[in-house]
Amino acid sequence: MMRSFFFVLVLVTGMTSTVAADPWLEDFEAATKAASTSGKPILVNVTASDWAAPCQKMEAEVFSRSDFLKAAQEKYVLLRLDFPRQKTQPEKIRAQNEQLAGLYSFSGFPTFLMLDAGGFLFGQKTGYVAGGVAAFLAMAANLETQKQTLFTLADAVKNAADGTERAKAEDALFRQAETWGLTSQYGDLPAKIVAEDADGEAGLKPRYQVYNAYNLLLGTWSDLDDFHLAVIKLNDLVEKSAAWPDLQQKIYFTKGMIWMNALRDELQAKEAFRQARSLGKDTETGLRASELLDQLP
C-alpha cells in the first residue's frame, strides 16, 4: 500500500511540474538561440497581460490550453513580450521589451509576430483572434508562408535595373509589406522609390512623397506643443492621398488614434475610425478600426 502511495505521489508531482513549467521565453536572445538551434521560427506574443482585456481573453481561450501548448511547441519557439502596468518585471526584460517595441512597431495589444532566428520579421497580426486554438494556429501557419514571398520580392529588387524597373520592384515589395503590416522591416524603401522614380516615369513618386510626409509626422507629432496641429497636418495628407485609398485609410486611422489617445475626444475619434473603415473594412487597418469602434462608447 505504501509503495503504491509513493508511486502515485511521484507521478502526480511529475505531472504538476510539467504543467507548471512556462514554455514562453521572455529573453529575446535566448529565443533567437533556441530558434537557431532548432530551426523553428519564433512566435511572439506581444501582450499587456494585466490590463488589456483582449490579451486576457487570448490567454484564457488559447495560450493556457494544453492542446495549444503541445502543438505550438512542436512548431515554434515561443516568446512573450509583456507590457504590464501593475506587475513588476526584471529591469533587463523591461528595457529589452521597450527596445523591441521600437524595432518591431505595432499598433495595439495583443500583437503576434513571426520572426526567424536572425530576428527578421515576416509575419504580424494585431488584435484578438476569435475561434480558439484551431483558429489561432491557422493564423500562425499563414504567417509562416509569408517569408518566402518577401524573399522572392526582395530578390526581384536586387535583380532590377536602376530607375523605373527598380522603383516598380521596390513598390511591389513595399506594398506587400504594407498589406501584411511589416513596413518596419522596409523603412528605407519609400525614399528609395522616390529617388529611383525621380522623373516620375513609373508614376510612383507622388504617392511616396505623401507617404514620406506621413511617416515623418508619425515620428514627430508627439513633440508638437499642440496635438491639434497634428490633426491639421493629417487633414492635409488626407486630401493629398485621395488617389490612394490604402494610404488614406492609414492616415484616417492615425488621426483617430490621436483624437482618442492624445486629445481624448471620443466623438472625433469615432468619426476618423469610421472614415478609415469605409475605405476597406477587411484590410488590417479596417479591422483595427472596427475593433476600436466596438470598444468606444
Are residue 213 and residue 284 in the same domain, yes or no?
A: yes
Are residue 139 and residue 9 in the same domain, yes or no?
A: yes
Are residue 134 and residue 192 in the same domain, yes or no?
A: no
Are residue 125 and residue 170 in the same domain, yes or no?
A: no
Long-range contacts of 116-122 (CB under 8 A, 24+ apart): 116/35, 116/41, 116/42, 116/147, 117/32, 117/35, 117/36, 117/39, 117/42, 118/32, 119/32, 120/147, 120/185, 121/182, 121/184, 121/185, 122/146, 122/147, 122/150, 122/182, 122/185
Are residue 45 and residue 182 in the same domain, yes or no?
A: no
What is the distance between the alpha carbons of residues 103 and 97, in angstroms, rounded to a whole number? Answer: 10
What is the distance between the alpha carbons of residues 2 and 20, in angstroms, rounded to a whole number? Answer: 27
Contact present, 227 and 263 (Cβ < 8 Å): yes
At 18 the pLDDT is 41
Domain end call among 87, 114, 144: 144
Instruction: Take residue 89 and report the three cell numbers written for it.
Output: 518585471
Q: Tell me, what CATH number does 177's domain have?
A: 1.25.40
Find the length of the chain.
Answer: 297
At 108 the pLDDT is 86
Closest CA to 103 of 92, 119, 91, 79: 119
At 2 the pLDDT is 40
- What are the strands of the beta sheet with 77-82, ordered from one edge? 77-82, 42-47, 111-115, 121-126
Q: How many domains are there within the chain?
A: 2
Q: What is the pLDDT of residues 180-229, one digit of tens each?
A: 989 888 989 999 999 999 999 999 999 999 999 999 999 899 999 999 99
Q: What residue numbers bound the domain in which 90 lies?
A: 2-144
Q: Is the pLDDT of residue 255 over 80?
A: yes
Domain end call among 95, 122, 144: 144
Computed over every residue of the chain, the mean pLDDT equals 92
Are residue 200 and residue 237 in the same domain, yes or no?
A: yes
Are residue 174 and residue 34 in the same domain, yes or no?
A: no
Are residue 131 and residue 113 in the same domain, yes or no?
A: yes
Q: What is the pLDDT of residues 87-97, one digit of tens each?
A: 999 999 999 99
Report CA 247 to chain centroid distance, whole Å: 17
Q: What percent of the chain stands above pLDDT 90?
A: 85
Q: Is the pLDDT of residue 17 over 80?
A: no
Q: Tell me, what CATH number does 135's domain have?
A: 3.40.30.10
Find the angle CA(222)-CA(228)-CA(231) to the nearest 5 degrees. Answer: 85
Are residue 187 and residue 78 in the same domain, yes or no?
A: no
**Dihedral angle of Cα 72, 75, 77, 80, to the nearest 10 degrees:** -30
Are residue 20 and residue 97 in the same domain, yes or no?
A: yes
The model's confidence at residue 12, banded by pLDDT at 50, 70 and 90, is very low
Are residue 278 and residue 170 in the same domain, yes or no?
A: yes
The model's confidence at residue 33, banded by pLDDT at 50, 70 and 90, is very high
Domain end call among 144, 160, 179: 144
At 129 the pLDDT is 95
Are residue 137 and residue 169 in the same domain, yes or no?
A: no
